[in-house]
Protein backbone atom coordinates (compact mmCIF):
# COMPACT_ATOMS: atom_id res chain seq x y z
CA UNK A 1 0.00 0.00 0.00
CA UNK A 2 1.24 3.49 -0.82
CA UNK A 3 2.63 5.52 2.07
CA UNK A 4 0.76 8.57 0.75
CA UNK A 5 -2.59 7.16 1.85
CA UNK A 6 -1.29 6.90 5.41
CA UNK A 7 0.17 10.42 5.34
CA UNK A 8 -3.13 11.80 4.02
CA UNK A 9 -5.11 9.82 6.58
CA UNK A 10 -2.95 11.11 9.45
CA UNK A 11 -3.16 14.71 8.19
CA UNK A 12 -6.96 14.53 7.94
CA UNK A 13 -7.15 12.96 11.39
CA UNK A 14 -5.00 15.68 12.95
CA UNK A 15 -7.13 18.36 11.28
CA UNK A 16 -10.46 16.86 12.38
CA UNK A 17 -12.38 18.36 15.29
CA UNK A 18 -14.57 15.27 15.58
CA UNK A 19 -14.12 11.65 14.50
CA UNK A 20 -16.70 8.91 14.03
CA UNK A 21 -15.64 5.33 13.44
CA UNK A 22 -17.96 2.73 11.98
CA UNK A 23 -16.87 -0.82 12.74
CA UNK A 24 -18.53 -3.11 10.23
CA UNK A 25 -19.16 -6.76 9.61
CA UNK A 26 -15.62 -7.37 8.35
CA UNK A 27 -14.57 -7.08 12.01
CA UNK A 28 -16.88 -9.78 13.36
CA UNK A 29 -14.15 -12.37 12.79
CA UNK A 30 -11.74 -10.39 14.98
CA UNK A 31 -13.91 -9.26 17.87
CA UNK A 32 -12.85 -12.00 20.28
CA UNK A 33 -9.22 -12.26 19.21
CA UNK A 34 -6.31 -10.79 21.10
CA UNK A 35 -5.07 -9.02 17.95
CA UNK A 36 -8.26 -6.96 17.94
CA UNK A 37 -7.80 -6.00 21.59
CA UNK A 38 -4.17 -5.10 20.86
CA UNK A 39 -5.22 -2.81 18.00
CA UNK A 40 -7.82 -1.12 20.20
CA UNK A 41 -5.21 -0.62 22.89
CA UNK A 42 -2.80 0.89 20.37
CA UNK A 43 -5.30 3.37 18.89
CA UNK A 44 -7.13 4.29 22.12
CA UNK A 45 -4.65 7.05 23.13
CA UNK A 46 -5.04 8.63 19.67
CA UNK A 47 -8.82 8.59 20.02
CA UNK A 48 -8.84 10.01 23.53
CA UNK A 49 -7.31 13.21 22.14
CA UNK A 50 -10.37 13.72 19.91
CA UNK A 51 -14.09 14.19 20.31
CA UNK A 52 -15.01 10.76 18.94
CA UNK A 53 -17.71 8.13 18.78
CA UNK A 54 -17.66 4.51 17.57
CA UNK A 55 -20.64 2.70 16.12
CA UNK A 56 -20.62 -0.97 15.26
CA UNK A 57 -22.94 -3.33 13.44
CA UNK A 58 -21.87 -6.18 15.70
CA UNK A 59 -24.54 -8.06 17.62
CA UNK A 60 -22.01 -9.66 19.98
CA UNK A 61 -22.77 -8.80 23.58
CA UNK A 62 -19.86 -10.60 25.22
CA UNK A 63 -16.73 -8.78 24.17
CA UNK A 64 -14.81 -5.91 25.65
CA UNK A 65 -14.05 -2.58 24.03
CA UNK A 66 -10.69 -2.80 25.72
CA UNK A 67 -9.24 0.58 26.47
CA UNK A 68 -11.89 2.53 24.55
CA UNK A 69 -14.26 4.62 26.61
CA UNK A 70 -17.54 2.62 26.69
CA UNK A 71 -19.47 5.91 26.77
CA UNK A 72 -18.09 6.60 23.29
CA UNK A 73 -19.32 3.34 21.75
CA UNK A 74 -22.75 2.29 20.55
CA UNK A 75 -23.98 -1.13 19.43
CA UNK A 76 -27.54 -0.49 18.27
CA UNK A 77 -28.03 -4.01 16.89
CA UNK A 78 -27.85 -5.41 20.42
CA UNK A 79 -31.45 -4.24 20.65
CA UNK A 80 -32.30 -7.07 18.24
CA UNK A 81 -30.45 -9.70 20.28
CA UNK A 82 -32.75 -12.32 21.77
CA UNK A 83 -30.95 -12.70 25.09
CA UNK A 84 -30.56 -9.11 26.19
CA UNK A 85 -31.52 -7.95 29.65
CA UNK A 86 -33.84 -5.00 30.09
CA UNK A 87 -30.97 -3.20 31.82
CA UNK A 88 -28.68 -3.73 28.83
CA UNK A 89 -31.47 -2.71 26.45
CA UNK A 90 -31.93 0.55 28.35
CA UNK A 91 -28.15 1.16 28.26
CA UNK A 92 -28.02 0.59 24.49
CA UNK A 93 -31.01 2.89 23.90
CA UNK A 94 -29.30 5.62 25.96
CA UNK A 95 -26.10 5.23 23.96
CA UNK A 96 -28.04 5.29 20.69
CA UNK A 97 -29.70 8.58 21.71
CA UNK A 98 -26.35 10.00 22.79
CA UNK A 99 -24.75 8.95 19.49
CA UNK A 100 -27.51 10.60 17.44
CA UNK A 101 -27.21 13.83 19.44
CA UNK A 102 -23.43 13.72 19.05
CA UNK A 103 -23.77 13.11 15.31
CA UNK A 104 -26.16 16.05 14.90
CA UNK A 105 -23.55 18.28 16.57
CA UNK A 106 -21.02 17.44 13.83
CA UNK A 107 -22.71 19.66 11.27
CA UNK A 108 -20.36 22.38 10.05
CA UNK A 109 -17.47 20.89 12.05
CA UNK A 110 -14.31 19.33 10.64
CA UNK A 111 -15.45 15.73 10.83
CA UNK A 112 -13.54 12.61 9.86
CA UNK A 113 -15.64 9.53 9.21
CA UNK A 114 -13.71 6.25 9.25
CA UNK A 115 -15.65 3.27 7.98
CA UNK A 116 -13.94 -0.03 8.75
CA UNK A 117 -15.21 -3.00 6.79
CA UNK A 118 -18.92 -2.23 6.49
CA UNK A 119 -20.64 -4.00 3.64
CA UNK A 120 -24.24 -4.24 2.51
CA UNK A 121 -25.75 -6.54 5.13
CA UNK A 122 -27.09 -3.51 7.03
CA UNK A 123 -26.12 -0.48 4.93
CA UNK A 124 -28.62 1.83 6.65
CA UNK A 125 -26.70 1.69 9.96
CA UNK A 126 -23.21 2.87 8.99
CA UNK A 127 -22.55 2.87 5.24
CA UNK A 128 -25.41 5.07 3.95
CA UNK A 129 -25.55 7.41 6.97
CA UNK A 130 -21.79 8.05 6.64
CA UNK A 131 -22.29 8.87 2.95
CA UNK A 132 -25.18 11.21 3.77
CA UNK A 133 -23.24 13.01 6.53
CA UNK A 134 -20.27 13.40 4.16
CA UNK A 135 -22.55 14.84 1.48
CA UNK A 136 -24.25 17.31 3.85
CA UNK A 137 -21.24 18.39 5.90
CA UNK A 138 -18.89 20.18 3.50
CA UNK A 139 -16.13 20.12 6.14
CA UNK A 140 -16.14 16.35 6.41
CA UNK A 141 -13.98 13.63 4.94
CA UNK A 142 -14.82 9.93 4.68
CA UNK A 143 -12.35 7.05 4.57
CA UNK A 144 -14.04 3.83 3.48
CA UNK A 145 -11.66 0.97 4.19
CA UNK A 146 -13.03 -2.29 2.88
CA UNK A 147 -11.36 -5.26 1.22
CA UNK A 148 -14.42 -6.16 -0.87
CA UNK A 149 -16.76 -3.16 -1.15
CA UNK A 150 -14.80 0.11 -1.03
CA UNK A 151 -16.86 1.89 -3.72
CA UNK A 152 -18.01 5.44 -3.09
CA UNK A 153 -20.86 7.42 -4.65
CA UNK A 154 -19.72 10.07 -7.10
CA UNK A 155 -21.38 12.93 -5.20
CA UNK A 156 -18.87 12.65 -2.31
CA UNK A 157 -15.80 11.46 -4.20
CA UNK A 158 -13.95 14.78 -3.75
CA UNK A 159 -14.09 14.44 0.05
CA UNK A 160 -13.79 10.70 0.37
CA UNK A 161 -11.19 7.99 -0.10
CA UNK A 162 -11.84 4.36 -0.90
CA UNK A 163 -9.19 1.96 0.36
CA UNK A 164 -9.49 -1.49 -1.19
CA UNK A 165 -7.87 -3.44 1.61
CA UNK A 166 -9.11 -5.30 4.64
CA UNK A 167 -9.69 -2.74 7.38
CA UNK A 168 -7.78 -4.93 9.81
CA UNK A 169 -4.74 -5.04 7.50
CA UNK A 170 -4.99 -1.29 6.90
CA UNK A 171 -4.92 -0.57 10.63
CA UNK A 172 -1.99 -2.94 11.12
CA UNK A 173 -0.06 -1.16 8.34
CA UNK A 174 -1.01 2.26 9.72
CA UNK A 175 0.30 1.14 13.10
CA UNK A 176 3.67 0.27 11.49
CA UNK A 177 3.68 3.59 9.63
CA UNK A 178 3.07 5.51 12.87
CA UNK A 179 5.94 3.64 14.55
CA UNK A 180 8.46 4.90 11.96
pLDDT of residue 62: 55
Angle at 58 between CA 53 and CA 63, to 5 degrees: 85
Nearest to 64 by CA among 73, 76, 55: 73
State the CB neighbour count (10 A cutoff) for residue 73. Answer: 17
pLDDT of residue 165: 95
Give bridge partners of residue 142 from the DSSP assignment.
Answer: 113, 160
Q: Is 134 left (phi over 0), alpha (psi -120 to 50) or beta?
A: alpha
pLDDT of residue 61: 63
49/69 Cα distance (integer angstroms): 12
Nearest to 21 by CA among 78, 91, 106: 106
Mean pLDDT score across all residues of the chain: 91
> What pTM does this model have?
0.94
pLDDT of residue 64: 59
Nearest to 1 by CA among 146, 154, 180, 170: 170
Give how many domains the chain has, as a whole number: 1
Range of 46's domain?
3-179
pLDDT of residue 60: 76
pLDDT of residue 4: 94
User: Which 8-state DSSP code applies to residue 113?
Assistant: E
Contacts of 39 (CB under 8 A, 6+ apart): 168, 171, 172, 175
CATH number at residue 158: 3.40.50.1220
Residues of the chain with pLDDT under 50: none
Q: What are phi and psi of 167, to 5 degrees?
A: -65, -35
Q: What pLDDT digit, counting tens, does each position of 3-51 carry?
A: 899 999 999 999 999 999 999 988 877 766 777 778 878 898 999 999 9
Residue ranges of E strands in the chain: 18-23, 51-56, 73-74, 111-116, 140-145, 160-163
Amino acid sequence: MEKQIFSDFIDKYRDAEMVVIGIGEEWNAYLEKQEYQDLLAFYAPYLEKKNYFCITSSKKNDFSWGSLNPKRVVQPLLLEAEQITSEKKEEVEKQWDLYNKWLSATLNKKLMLIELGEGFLIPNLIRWPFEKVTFINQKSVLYRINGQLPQLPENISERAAAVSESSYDFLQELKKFLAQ
